[in-house]
Amino acid sequence: MYFLRRIAFLVPLLLIISFLAFMLVRVAPGGPFDKERAPASPEIEANIKKKYHLDKPLLTQYGIYLKNLLQGDFGPSLKYRNHSVNDIIAQGLPVSLTLGVLAFLLAQGFGIPLGFLTAVKKGGILDYGGSFIALLAICIPGFVIGPLLVLVFSIKLGWFPVGMWETPMHAVLPTLALGLYFGGKVARLMREGMLGTLNSEFITTARAKGLSETQVLVKHAFRIAVLPVVSYSGPLLADLLVGSFVVENIFRVPGIGVFLVNSSLNRDYTMVVGLVLLYAVLLLVLNLLVDLAYSMLDRRVKME
């Protein structure tokens, strides 16, 4: 029941989001057809605006947009006039999804064990070393780590291609550049969660019952300690799935991350609203899944 209600709630929420995005992007100064070269006459500009209904009142424009949206049509891109927003998303999203999932798996596969280990070996050399690595991953931004990876692994060593998106080898460096930072964050969340949990009374009880340390850590502590990571994973995955402007630029990956930033700089109204909606759907659905995972991991959380 609870989930059905949440799902029903998504529809008005998405409507509000689309309305806000639609209006806000139009408030920004400048428009999609402002170019370095002025059109030969003001009439030309008026004609272009008419063609895309930009001459109509805002609410009418939104009405037209909604009508098309209900038929699954995000409209034509105002910047790339031969492409529709649907085309662009259909072309770029699978690439961004792949890269996002790979980076997500890297972040979790690197972050969770690292956080777990550093917490269990707290104060030891493993803790200091591991925490340092996690901190390093967080502190080096993508636009630094990306070119560094290219310099070392592509140009100096020649192991991986410098860019583009063709073979599995092409995915390695972008995945690292995108995933390491989040891996660091996951490691820190995991470490804190674990440390907090290990101080709880039920752990003391478990130990008192005479369970082996492995059983205490893996069966009892881990389930609870991983919760902060789980709740972080929803928005994280949504972020990763819609692509990364920086990483896609550096490695020339043809995803949609580039459009996330450029479409608003270009005032490509239809593209902005389309991408905002896409991101909103991903975020809302993934958050729903996170809540579902919560209730399964921690029985104290009830879905009411």
Partner 1 sequence: MAFVTASLKQANWIRRWAVAACAVLAIWATGCGHKEERADLVIMNGAEPESLDPTIVTGQPDGRVAGALFEGLTRFNPKNAKPIPGLAERWDISEDGQTYTFHLRPNIVWSTGEPITADDVVYSWRRALDPLTASDYAGQLYYIKNGENFNTGKTNAATGNRYVKEDVGVEAIDPRTVKVLLEGPTPFFLDLCAFRTLAIVPRQAIEKHGDRWLMERPMPTSGPYTLEFWRIHDRIRVRKNPRYWDAANIQNELIDLLPAESANTALNLYLSGEADVIWDKNLVPSELMDVLKGRPYVHTYDYLGTYFVRFNITRKPFDDVRVRKALSLVLDKKRIVERITRSGEKIATCLTPPGMEGYTSPEGLGYDPEQARKLLAEAGYPGGKGFPTFNYLFNTSEMHKQVAVELQEMWKKELGINMELRQTEWKVYLSSQSQLDYDTTRSSWIGDYVDPNTFLDMFMSGNGNNRTGWKNPKYDDLIRQANQERDPVKRAKILYDAEVLLVREDPPIAPLFFYIGVNIFDPAKVEGVHQNLLDEHPLWPLKRKDGRTAAKAAAAK
Q: How far is the CB of 261 from partner 1 (least distance, A)?
A: 10
Alpha carbon 228 to chain centroid, angstroms: 17
> What does 121-164 look like in DSSP terms, one character per residue?
TTTSHHHHHHHHHHHHHHHS-HHHHHHHHIIIIIIIS--S-SS-
Q: How far is the CB of 304 from partner 1 (least distance, A)?
A: 31
> Three-state SS for 84?
strand
Q: Is 71 in the site for partner 1 (CB under 8 A)?
A: no
Tell me the per-residue interface mask from 220 to 259 with partner 1, x by CB under 8 A, - otherwise. Answer: -----------------------------xxxx-xx--xx
The residue with tokens 């993508």 is 142
Q: How far is the CB of 251 from partner 1 (least distance, A)?
A: 7
Q: How far is the CB of 24 from partner 1 (least distance, A)?
A: 15
Alpha carbon 190 to chain centroid, angstroms: 20
238's tokens: 């949504």
The residue with tokens 């969660």 is 193
Q: Is 51 in the site for partner 1 (CB under 8 A)?
A: yes
Using the minimum distance from each CB to partner 1, give the nearer residue, 17 or 282: 282
Residues 262-301 that bind partner 1 (CB under 8 A): 265-267
> What does 209-271 look like in DSSP terms, one character per residue?
TT--HHHIIIIIIHHHHTHHHHHHHHHHHHHHHT--HHHHHHTT--SSHHHHHHHHHTT-HHH
**Which one of residues 23, 126, 133, 162 is an interface residue with partner 1 (CB under 8 A)?**
162
Considering only CA atoms, which of 102, 286, 109 is closest in space to residue 184?
109
Using the minimum distance from each CB to partner 1, give the nearer residue, 131 or 274: 274
Report d(CA 17, CA 14) in Å as an integer: 5
Q: Is 211 in the site for partner 1 (CB under 8 A)?
A: no
Report d(CA 113, CA 96) in Å as an integer: 26
Using the minimum distance from each CB to partner 1, give the nearer residue, 42 or 72: 42
Q: Is 167 in the site for partner 1 (CB under 8 A)?
A: yes
* Chain residues that interact with partner 1, rule: CB under 8 A: 28-31, 34-44, 47-48, 51, 76, 79-84, 87-88, 91-92, 94-95, 97-99, 101-102, 105, 147, 150, 154-155, 161-168, 170-171, 249-252, 254-255, 258-259, 265-267
